[in-house]
Structure 1
Amino acid sequence: MRTGPSRRGRGVLSGALAGQRRLVILSALMVTAHQAGEALVPFLIGVVIDRAVGGGAGDLALWLGVLGAVYLGLSYGFRYGVRYGERAAEQVAHGLRLRLTRRVLDARGGAEADRLPGALVSIATSDAARVGAVAVAIASGVAAVMALALAAVLLLWISLPLGLLVLLGIPPLLLLTHLLGKPLEGRSESEQEQSAHASGIAADLVKGLRVVKGLRAGDAAVERYADRSRRALTASVRVARAEAAYQGLVHTASGVFLAVVAVVGGVLAAGGDISVGQLISSVGLAQFLVGPMSTFGWVGVDLAQGRASARRIAAVLDAAPAVAGGAAEPARPVRGRVTLRGLHSPPLRGVDLDIDAGELVGIVTADPAEAAALVGLFGRAYDPVAGAVELDGVALAELDPGSLRSAMLTTEHHTDLFDGTIRSNITAAGRARVDLVDAAVAAAAADEVLWTLPDGLDTVLDDQARALSGGQRQRIALARALATDPAVLVVHDPTTAVDTVTEARIATRLRSVRDGRTTVLITTSPALLAATDRVIVLDDGVVRATGRHGELVAADSRYRSTVLA
């Protein structure tokens, strides 16, 4: 049975907090100690005054000493309570960021569906932080309730009517606070959604800034962002208004309640039912109650926002995988024989072909959509509508996605480089064969790039290596794919931004570095195709021809126009 968004959000929230239960409890205890000390201070001041009026110097000194000890205790309680609470909040947020990162990077995919990268970043940062803040809110809320209870006990000690007034008045006030926070929760979720969309568009625009400028599409891009930003602003203003109204109502209700307590205390003092010291204690306790009562205001806001953010996080964590997760492992050692049987996935409509283990094959299509579909199916970004892609006789859908990617690597035409050194980009976080890095760099002609850089492989890249040209980035990305040395490597147009002389050099070296490994080049580059064992030509979603590059150029006019145009 599928659970609703609210229940999934509660599950994320409770699960994240359960992992930090010890810190939350410690924080609640220490903050409660602080609040208890704050409540005892006005009570003890009243006692000190009564002792000063009617008692001796010894009693006065004793109670002054008790008052000093309470101040010392409440100081340490606040210090360590806040420390434990903030640590719990940061660890909750950190844990959620790790879970989100693992889900987004899961080989099954699906988490990024219908979400811009910037929106995912917003969820992993802002929403995770808001859920983490609930740890502080819970500790502070518990401490506020305990402080109110202690204040009520002290008031009962001073006067039964005052104590009963506080004890009977707190529950309705807490219920009112909860009910008033409900509308804020829904508006907060909407505000976070709109803000995440605006962040996503901004991130995409910055990433594609050069393209936008080249197309002279700046005005359209600005208008697109402005429209989304206006929606985010409207949602933020609605939340701010709701929060202001919520805080105002909570403070008003609290103020009325405290005024009633103070008035009742004054009437009792005027009638002689309580002493001067007890009157001072009562007024001090009434003033102290402002703190715990105001705490309910911001605690309610944090809880509402935390629940809304937890639902957004749950939506990513519970996103349906793009592909089913098979459990089988590829046969070891992986031979690398790839077979396509009756493959239907628009615009492909019945592709049958066999690629032998260790073969270097080129696949040519004039339709970019067909090339993109092949890349998606080889990389298992999605599964075919019908038919299958097989590795060594086993359908990819039956293989564990993570294990499959260690045996069969597919690189898209557009590849990203990350902040860090060129070496760290090529070694791919330890996945590359260290002994193959130099050969991969040379095969991709990336050594020529390193010659122009001050620190060679140890040159630090930032801002997604935008200081490099498109061809330089392509060569480093190709070196990364080659250094990983998978049993099957599928590469889509790896040299479109590389000059023809360098492209010919790459084609010559590619066969050597991939000797004995299956390699599929989805490209229309004549230099790369000339280096292949054979070329498979797709047309209108089916295999139309196969042969050596030179033979196809000589005999097939359509092939010739596709690769030599």
Structure 2
Amino acid sequence: MNGEQITGRSVLRGSIRGQRRHVGVASLLFIGHQTGEALVPVLVGVVIDEAVTTGDPRALAFWLVVLGVDFAVLSLSYRYGARRSWLADVRADQRLRLRLAERVLDPRGGAEAGRLPGSLATIAVADAKRVGIVNFALPLGLAAVAALGVAAIALLRISLPLGLLILLGTPPLLYAVHLLGKPVERRSGPEQERAAQASGIAADLVAGVRVLKGIGAEPAAVRRYERTSQVALAATLRATGAQAWYQGAVLAANGIFLAVVALAGGRLAAQGAISVGELVAAVGLAQFLLTPLSIFGWVNGRFAQARASAARIAEVLTSAPAVTAGGRPVPDAVPGAVRLRALTHGSLTGLDLDVPAGELLGVVATDPADAVALLACLGREADPDDGAVELDGVALTEFTPEQARRAVLVAAHDAELFSGTVRDNVLAAAGPGADLEPAMAAAQADQVADALPAGRDTEISEQGRSLSGGQRQRVALARALAANAPVLVLHDPTTAVDTVTEARIAAGLRDVRRGRTTIVLTTSPALLAVTDRVVVLDDGRVIAQGRHSDLLHADTHYRKTVLA
């Protein structure tokens, strides 16, 4: 936003400013519509005074034509004004969703911190929509102001007391409507927050439904979701109750105001101060005023909800990055030597480790937290608290996160597959035209493809749910190998495959990665057996290293960890 600090208000202002052309045109057209609506009772009054009471057919025909033109103008004005305002609404909604997606996908990360994926999805869909709709509400609000002005002028011409009643009574009524909307705004934020939390937990449970069924944890999962959904329901009911009370109060206030206007007009007619046509016009205008006053209530409610949603959007957009962004480019030729110097992060406490270029290194972490912390630093998901991770003598933090991740590719244990074909998933990181067969064969994913109906062109469902756990792991490993990164870091890539297949994968991994640096965090004997060297991490430091066979014979603790 041009250097402007991002707040809820700036998000709301930016949403309107970005669509100002459409909003401006829609406002003019809606003003034409509301002005035409306000003129209808005035013209009806003129027809009565100028034609009906006088019995003049030519005057009657003329004023009926004028009335018809007024109806045509107001009808077309609303039609094209609604098109413009809805266009502004959906475009603003789209821009906000794109901005949120851009922030969530920022290589520096940070937007997902403390938020479930379902929560981010709710913000990007429901909250963005609530902010976008102000581009429809604002033109209607401006048109309602114009309608009140036209009605007030018409009433002043009919009767000064009636006109003054409108002019002096409307501002307090509008202020009361604004005050009545405060509870809606206060409760709209918690309602969206609880709904987002429920959506996030639901998405989390659906993603892990197989695991839940496997361990028999369905009742606990159902209870967890029930508790969250009950909280969300309570927040929604409170917000809905506030909205219903608000709408009822606004309707009552409008009704009382209009009743006063109608009563004053009736008394003036009874005293002969105004004609029959003027009385009809005054009563018609009093009834018409219900529309702009109701619009004020609706617009105020939309802005109250939009302010709460804009604040939530601003929180995501201003999330602190998880990692710094260096500006140094990665060289075209990357030998792939990795060095950890006094690396401190999470459970790692001053870890020192040298990985020469081209080495296949096995890492055994007795504490899973050490593996998680190491993967976060190697994958640039987090900056070290102290020390550094160096690639060919240069700290990873000096590179941009995306370039560092292309040079040092971390394939997580729970790597996700995406809806599409097996071929598309494997080539996702390598790009079209790359040869996927070596990677498929090394990961034994070619056997997976051969068993599927359409082979490599078989469509798989979202997150690979149409595949078994072992099949998903092999396709994900093939994808990591196909990327052909200078440094590849694998985390437990074979936990869901049988021992025979695992041995074949180990041999294929060594062959396909020969001459390039590969780090495998695992306790699998088959994978460790093909490594050049194994290091053992305990309490955040290296406590032993050597060949797998030597460590098995010499280190009891290693043997228990690997063969358990």
Q: Could you state the TM-score of these two structures normalised by the residue count of structure 1?
A: 0.95
Instruction: Find the aligned partners of 1:112 and 1:302 in 2 and give their Cα distance.
Output: 28
1:59 equivalent in alignment to 2:29: no
Contact 1:417 1:425 in 2 (8 A): yes
Aligned counterpart, 2:404: 404
1:35-46 → structure 2 map (5 Å cutoff)? 35-46=34-45
Secondary structure of the residue aligned to 1:115 is: coil
Q: In structure 1, what residue type is equivalent to 2:247? A: Q
Aligned counterpart, 1:321: 321
My pick for the range that moved more, 482-491 or 325-334, is 325-334
Aligned counterpart, 1:225: 225
Q: In structure 1, what residue type is equivalent to 2:155? A: L
1:126-525 → structure 2 map (5 Å cutoff)? 126-428=126-428, 432=431, 434-525=433-524
Pairwise CA distance, 1:4: 13
Provide structure 1 residue ranges, at least 5 long, that are not aligned to the other structure.
none
Q: In structure 2, what residue type is equivalent to 1:124? A: A
1:91 equivalent in alignment to 2:71: no
Pairwise CA distance, 1:249: 1.6
Instruction: Find the aligned partners of 1:20 and 1:423 in 2 and give their Cα distance.
Output: 42
Instruction: Find the aligned partners of 2:15 and 2:424 in 1 and give their Cα distance.
Output: 33
Pairwise CA distance, 1:559: 2.4
Q: In structure 2, what residue type is equivalent to 1:502? A: T
Pairwise CA distance, 1:433: 5.8
Instruction: Find the aligned partners of 2:20 and 2:424 in 1 and give their Cα distance.
Output: 38
Contact 1:388 1:395 in 2 (8 A): yes
Secondary structure of the residue aligned to 2:413 is: coil
Q: What whole-Å deviation, never above 9, does each CA across 1:306-332 have from its counterpart, x for those lacking one?
A: 100011111111111122222222233
Pairwise CA distance, 1:199: 1.3
Secondary structure of the residue aligned to 2:163 is: helix
Q: Could you state the TM-score of these two structures normalised by the residue count of structure 2?
A: 0.95
Q: In structure 2, what residue type is equivalent to 1:477? A: A
What percentage of aligned pairs have identical amino acids? 58
Instruction: Find the aligned partners of 1:4 and 1:177 in 2 and give their Cα distance.
Output: 31
Instruction: Find the aligned partners of 2:421 and 2:286 in 1 and give their Cα distance.
Output: 62
Pairwise CA distance, 1:431: 5.0
Contact 1:131 1:307 in 2 (8 A): yes
Q: In structure 1, what residue type is equivalent to 2:147? A: A
Instruction: Find the aligned partners of 1:422 and 1:300 in 2 and give their Cα distance.
Output: 51
Secondary structure of the residue aligned to 1:54 is: coil
Contact 2:35 2:150 in 1 (8 A): yes
Instruction: Find the aligned partners of 2:123 and 2:59 in 1 and give their Cα distance.
Output: 59
My pick for the range that moved more, 502-511 or 186-195, is 502-511
Contact 1:34 1:74 in 2 (8 A): yes
Instruction: Find the aligned partners of 2:506 and 2:431 in 1 and give their Cα distance.
Output: 21
Contact 1:433 1:484 in 2 (8 A): no
Contact 2:152 2:167 in 1 (8 A): yes
Residues 336 and 41 of structure 1, relative CA distance in 2, 3 Å threshold: same
Aligned counterpart, 2:534: 535
My pick for the range that moved more, 477-486 or 431-440, is 431-440
Q: What whole-Å deviation, never above 9, does each CA across 1:141-191 have from its counterpart, x for those lacking one?
A: 111111111111221222222222212222111111112211211111011
My pick for the range that moved more, 155-164 or 230-239, is 155-164
Count of aligned pairs between the two proteins: 561
Pairwise CA distance, 1:124: 1.1
Instruction: Find the aligned partners of 1:322 and 1:385 in 2 and give their Cα distance.
Output: 12
Contact 2:427 2:434 in 1 (8 A): no
User: Cα RMSD (Å) of the superposition?
Assistant: 1.9
Q: In structure 2, what residue type is equivalent to 1:562? A: T
Contact 1:8 1:314 in 2 (8 A): yes
Aligned counterpart, 1:25: 24
Pairwise CA distance, 1:390: 1.1
Q: What whole-Å deviation, never above 9, does each CA across 1:225-260 have from its counterpart, x for those lacking one?
A: 111112111111111121122112211111111111
Provide structure 2 residue ranges, at least 5 long, that are not aligned to the other structure.
none
Aligned counterpart, 2:68: 68
